Amino acid sequence: MLKEHLLKAVETKLRRENLPVAVRLWTGETIAGTQSPSIELTLKSPSAMNLFLHPNLSNLAESYVRQEIDVRGDIRHIIRLLLKIFQGNGIAPNWSERLNLFRHTRASDSKAVRYHYDVSNDFYKLWLDKRRVYSCAYFKTLDDSLDLAQEQKLDHLCKKLNLQPGERLLDIGCGWGALIFWAAERYGARCVGVTLSEQQYAYVQEQIAAHGLKDRLEVRLQDYRDVPEDEQFDKVVSVGMFEHVGVHRLPAYFSKIFRLLKPGGVVMNHGITAASFEGDRGSSGRDFIEKYVFPDGELTHISRVIDIMARQGLEVLDTESLRRHYAQTLWRWVTGLEAHQDAARRIVGEDKYRIWRAYLGGFAYAFEANWDNIYQILAARPLPDGSIDYPLTREHVYR
């Protein structure tokens, strides 16, 4: 009786809103909102009807990973249209901050990073740009290719840092090394990159040797907390890493950066933030991401980030939202993954492929819908007299 009631409710919603969605049941029966549906949702068994009892994006994504459902069609249409079915009011729920003091130890952070990044270098190569930049790109036009947009992002960061030849740059969470290579080759900087990913570390080591840059580049398998503080840096950059730090550890994180910077030095923190003041508010896919993609990831509002940075002695010079850029980046990633789905399945298996497809598509929608944001925050450690050796205008960034 409940099943029939749910199916009738779904059919009514599809037809009332004229949604181009077909729902194919395990019996072979199909209900559709229009005569020409652009996507198809297949329920493989009666248990899949539980989705309609607990309708949220996390449950939808998990059912897809468990192969209880299948979907066909363009990923953008799939995400948008299924959300209309499974989130009737279209409003993202509140997510309270989870300040578990036992999280984000060195051991747990290392485990979480390895879980996400050590999937396979070959897997990421399938859908990232040629430099393997796994962070928000920078689009000057919507027609920019992913390769071009990522190079523009690398250059945007270096220009914002006002990076000069011979300066020492620390990259916290250096990924596959794209930024430190760009900074060394294009700006003449001497760079140290740290990562907790063994596969990233091995890859960057190989690339440093292959490019003959051992005199200018160093990569370490090291927690940022363990970088010696007698190693002073002119510039520090962190891209897509502080989301893994833990909200309650952000004061210690920015305090560590302050101590690593030379007086007068500049830091760029590029990372995802919550879109609401309540904290970790975002798409209802947050539980799915926590369980399957980014263990122990935590977000907070940019206002809190700036407040914490200021309390650690860092003076914020500039902020820039890249939310729309990240939506574009994520859509390109998920379509790239779909284009190489056969190779992806061979490398990581069906479950991992489904996890990443659901995650990238859902995250793209979350940024497009302003459920999450991402900011570049530029700050400086002032000299003892309060001065800062940094250009007075932004002209050098856009020159």
Residue 42 resides in a domain = yes
Average pLDDT over residues 59-65: 81
Same-domain check for residues 131 and 41: no
Average pLDDT over residues 207-231: 96
Domain limit, last residue, from 86, 119, 154: 86
Q: Is the pLDDT of residue 199 over 80?
A: yes
The residue that leads in pLDDT, 63 or 189, is 189
Residue 219 resides in a domain = yes
Residue 184 resides in a domain = yes
Domain limit, last residue, from 36, 58, 86: 86
Same-domain check for residues 13 and 141: no
**Structural domain span for residue 138:** 106-398
Residue labelled with tokens 């369980």: 291
Residue 100 resides in a domain = no
Q: In the prediction, which pLDDT does 237 show? A: 98
Read off the pLDDT of residues 281-309 as tens digits, 9 standing for 90 and up.
Answer: 444 466 787 788 877 778 899 999 999 99
CA atoms of 172 and 238, how far apart (whole Å):
5
Q: Is the pLDDT of residue 138 over 70?
A: yes
Residue 145 resides in a domain = yes
Residue 97 resides in a domain = no
For the chain, the average pLDDT equals: 87
Q: Give the distance between the most distant pair of CA atoms in the chain.
A: 76
Q: Are 257 and 236 in contact (CB under 8 A)?
A: yes
Residue 128 resides in a domain = yes
| Number of domains present in the structure of the chain | 2
Structure tokens given for 143: 């027609």
CA atoms of 271 and 326, how far apart (whole Å):
11
Is 342 exposed, middle or buried, given 0-12, 13-18 or 19+ CB atoms closer than 10 A? exposed
Q: Are 97 and 279 in contact (CB under 8 A)?
A: yes
Least confident among 51-60, 134-143, 231-240: 51-60
pTM listed for this prediction: 0.83
Same-domain check for residues 140 and 276: yes
Same-domain check for residues 344 and 388: yes
Read off the pLDDT of residues 106-117 as tens digits, 9 standing for 90 and up.
Answer: 666 666 666 666
Read off the pLDDT of residues 347-367 as tens digits, 9 standing for 90 and up.
Answer: 999 989 999 999 999 899 999
Same-domain check for residues 82 and 129: no
CATH of the domain at 25: 3.30.1050
* Closest by CA position to 283, among listed 338, 360, 354, 351: 360
> Three-class SS of residue 371?
coil
Average pLDDT over residues 44-69: 77
Same-domain check for residues 46 and 120: no
Is 349 exposed, middle or buried, given 0-12, 13-18 or 19+ CB atoms closer than 10 A? exposed
Same-domain check for residues 82 and 111: no
Q: In the prediction, which pLDDT does 24 show? A: 87
DSSP code, position 93: P
CATH of the domain at 148: 3.40.50.150
CA atoms of 181 and 211, how far apart (whole Å):
9
* Closest by CA position to 97, among listed 248, 245, 285, 295: 248
Same-domain check for residues 80 and 135: no
Structure tokens given for 94: 């509140």
Same-domain check for residues 131 and 71: no
CA dihedral 364, 370, 371, 372 (to 10 degrees): 70
> Which residues does residue 378 pair with via DSSP β-bridges, in sequence order?
268, 318
Same-domain check for residues 32 and 126: no
Same-domain check for residues 246 and 212: yes
Alpha-helical (H) ranges within 146-219 are: 146-160, 178-187, 198-210
Residue 302 resides in a domain = yes
Same-domain check for residues 258 and 335: yes
Q: Are 174 and 197 in contact (CB under 8 A)?
A: no
